[in-house]
Structure formats: C-alpha cells, structure tokens
Amino acid sequence: MLKVLANRTYRHLFLAQVIALVGTGLATVALGLLAYDLAGAEAGAVLGTALAIKMIAYVGVAPVAAAFAERLPRRAMLVCLDLVRGAVALLLPFVSEVWQVYVLIFVLQSASAAFTPTFQATIPDVLPDEKEYTRALSLSRLAYDLESVASPMLAAALLTVVSFHSLFAGTVIGFLASAALVISVVLPSPKAAERRGIYDRTTRGLRIYLATPRLRGLLALNLAVAAAGSMVIVNTVVLVQAEFGLTQRATAIALAAFGGGSMIAALLLPRLLDKRPDRAAMLAGAAVLAAGLFIGVFVQSFALLLPLWVAIGLGYSLTQTPSGRLLRRSSHPEDRPALFAAQFALSHACWLITYPLAGWLGATVGLPATFGTLGVIATTAIVAATRLWPAHDPDEIEHVHEELAEDHPHLAGATPVGNAHKHTHVFVIDSHHPDWPAER
C-alpha cells in the first residue's frame, strides 16, 4: 500500500490531506467544547445545529464543486480553499454568540465541501494506473481512521496544558501546511476529452449512484452510519461533562475510544474482506451500530461508555470502509470522481437528518430516548439495505441491447436475439447501460 507514496506529487497531496485532517479533528473536539462553553447543557442542540449546517454545505456544494473541479486550475483552487478554511478557524476562538458559530461553520464547511471532490478528482490523473489508484484510495481511508484516533488523543494531551481555544490554532497550522504542500507540486491538467457540460457533470454521479442496486443499499447503510456517528459526535460532550460531571480531557478520551474502535476494524478489514463479501461485512457492521445504540439506553457511567464507543467505532468502520470498493466496482474510471462526489453528498445528506435529530432530541427528551430513536432509524436502514442490495450481486451480468445499431462496436461478439443483441460483461451504469438489467 505504501509503495504509492514513491510518487512525489501524490505523496505531497496525501501529506496535505493527513495534516488538514488532523487540524480538522482538533477543530471538531474544540467545537464541541466551544458549544458547551456557550450553551452549557444545551450544547447538544447547538452542536447538532452547527453540524446540520455543515451537512447543508456538503450536500449543496460538493456536486457543483465536482463539476467545476475540472474547469478551474486545480492547484490554485485547492490552495485558496485551504486559506479560506484557515482564516475561518482563526476566527472561531473569538466568537461570543451561537449565531456566529453557525455563520463561520457554514463558510468553513462550504470550503471543505469544495476541497474534497476537487482533491478526489485530481488523484486519478496523478495516479493513472488502476492498482496505484486503488492503493491511494485505501490510504485515504486509513488516513481518516488514523485521524479519528490521533486528533482526540492529541487534543486530550494539549488540553492538559492549554485551553480548548488553542486547539483552533492547530487547525489553522494544519490548513496552512496543507496549502504549502499543494503549492510544492505541479498538478496535471484535466484531459479535454473528459470534459462534459456542467449540468451533466453535476448530475452524472448521482444518476449512476441511484441506478445501481448495490449503491442504493449503500445509501441505506450510510443512514445507519450517520445515526450512530451523530450520537457519538453530538452527544459525547453532553454525556461526559453534563451527565457524568467529568472534564474536557475525558470528552477527548471518549472520542478517542470511538476512533480506536474504528482503527481496529480498519486494520482487520483486509483479511476479513478476503473471506467475506462486502455486503455481509457491511451489514454485520451496521448491526453492531444498531445494537450499540440500543445498549446505550442503559449506559450510566463513563466506564461503560468507553467500551460502548469502542464497539460503535468498530461497527462504524466495518460499515463505511468498504464503500470505496463498491464505488470502484460500479463505475468506469472516468466516472469515478463524479460518483465519489455523489457518495460524498448523499452520505452527508443522511448526516443532515441525524445530526440535528441527535442534538435536539438529546436536549428535549433526554439521551436514553435519543439512543433508542437513533437505534430504530439504524435498524430500519439495515432492513432497507437488505431489500435494495440483492445478496446475489455478480460483476458480470447477461443483458440485452435493443437500442444499439447492429454494427455498434459495443456489440462485438454479442448474440443476436430477434431485433436485439445479448451479451455478458462487467456491468456498470454508463451511456450504453442507463438502467440495471433486472429493471428494464
């Protein structure tokens, strides 16, 4: 996996991603503590609203940014977005009103929503070899998991010597370092042949996603992931500090326990996926999430919360990490950036539902009822995933073409069937295959 880092351009981009992730992780911990500082026991509602605003930015900005990513100079765009994020992080420690948090979070996350698909659209051109690109995707997933462990641990260490406001300084440094690494390399320009109209590029990934059964199942599993993840991210600070009466450092330790569980699953997944299909592994992970939420109804101490957060972290990574494999299976290389942008937007649409739900339910009906409600949502999502994603899901599918001319190159070797042609190959949604065979 690490061989891909021999490519200098990718190495610098990967380091930029890792450093920015650590900075973002520090900001996540600091944001929860800032919300508690401003709103006390109502911090869950404030944080839930702030994170809902983040999701609105992600859902609305990401598809459009993916469309423009191949029309604008990539290096300049990535650097400018890093600078915008750094400027916002610099202002966050000085806010004194809740509404100011909401405005700055929207600007910060709009920049992040534009940065991510632009970054993802760049990697296939930097690493045109399919195997290298696959390793790069695996490294990116590992980076996210490492960040979920490292950032809370780093935050816990820093909080022993500085106030939580200083964590935002780490975020600023991270974004500036990311911008410097991007400036240090020359990024390839997109190929003119790959350019399409803005509308087509904005909607293409979404159309491929929703027309593919396994990806519709993935969308349902995204909702289960969001239900459990929202409970952890929104209400950890409320559980630890308002319910258990512990310190900011204990909040960071609890978040690190969640990240540790996710990391353990990420390390075990390669062997597991060699023996089990993606569908079985992801459904098992989602079942762990749902069970963890129901168990959370009865958790009344920090000592019990930590192993629960580890278990939910395990289920979180087990459900989410294989999604990149599904996206690769379901698209041609040239459609991959658009499909990843669609996953980015649709998965965050799920968080847009669960973030405010976790915050406002926690503030109005209590945390046990919030655990139970999100557990019901996760269970419903699992049932939907089993219906939307068939257990029999081969790569190669026999199908019939009725609309293509007999001399069309795609029909080479196909068998005539009346006025149509039948053949079998690896099937993905594209211009020749706008619908899934069983749904024609």
Rounded Cα distance, 328 and 84, in Å? 31
Is 60 exceeded by the pLDDT of residue 338?
A: yes
Rounded Cα distance, 432 and 401, in Å? 9
To which residue do tokens 């641990």 refer? 153
> Residue 75: inside a domain, yes or no?
yes
**Residue 406 burial (CB count, 10 A):** 10
Is 50 exceeded by the pLDDT of residue 193?
A: no
Q: What is the pLDDT of residue 420?
A: 87
> Residue 89: inside a domain, yes or no?
yes
Q: What is the pLDDT of residues 107-133, one digit of tens each?
A: 888 888 788 777 777 777 787 776 676
Highest-confidence segment of 215-219, 264-268, 403-407, 433-437: 215-219
Q: Pick from 152, 166, 156, 19: which is nearest to 89 by CA?
A: 166
Minimum mean pLDDT among 99-103, 106-110, 139-143: which range?
139-143
> Residue 425: inside a domain, yes or no?
no
254 lies in which domain range?
2-188+196-388
Q: What is the pLDDT of residues 354-412, one digit of tens each?
A: 988 998 899 899 999 999 999 999 999 999 999 999 999 888 898 898 888 888 888 88
> Residue 407: inside a domain, yes or no?
no
Stretch (H or E) spanning 91: helix 74-91
> Residue 365: inside a domain, yes or no?
yes
Can you give the CATH number for the domain in which 41 is found?
A: 1.20.1250.20
Number of domains in the chain: 1
The pTM for the full model equals 0.77
User: Any idea what the Cα angle at residue 107 is, between residues 106 and 108, rounded to 5°?
Assistant: 95
> Residue 393: inside a domain, yes or no?
no
Rounded Cα distance, 394 and 177, in Å? 44
Q: What is the pLDDT of residue 114?
A: 80
Q: Which residues contact 6 (CB under 8 A, 6 or more apart)?
A: none
> Residue 440: inside a domain, yes or no?
no
> Residue 257: inside a domain, yes or no?
yes
